Amino acid sequence: MDGDDLRLRLGSVRRYPELERLICAAAINPDLAALLIADPESASELPGYNFPLSIVERSLVASIEGATDIYDFAARLHERIQQMK
């Protein structure tokens, strides 16, 4: 596997870099992942995590419901981004 295979891309990295940071952080931090799955709207605003999401990015994160794990959450988020195009 090369480095490109390991990257999690949500839309365009240039377009949604903070979403990518958020999902990557949640993939390695089970506490953040659990919070993001349970309450996506407030998880992105926690003081211990610095993810300066735009209004559109916050709306995308908050729109994800019923994810079973962080990978399902990321897949649903990616799908939502693709629907915007």
User: Does residue 64 surpass a pLDDT of 90?
Assistant: yes
Considering just the CA atoms, what is the radius of gyration of the chain in Å? 12
Does the predicted TM-score (pTM) go above 0.85?
A: no
CB 57 within 8 A of CB 16: yes
Q: Which tens digit of pLDDT belongs to each residue from 71-80?
A: 999 999 999 9
Token pair 């949640």 in the structure block, residue? 26
Q: For residue 65, what pLDDT is reported?
A: 93
Cα-Cα-Cα-Cα dihedral sign, residues 25, 26, 31, 35:
positive
CB 37 within 8 A of CB 22: no
- What mean pLDDT comes out for the span 13-30? 84
The candidate with the shortest Cα–Cα distance to 23, out of 44, 48, 41, is 44
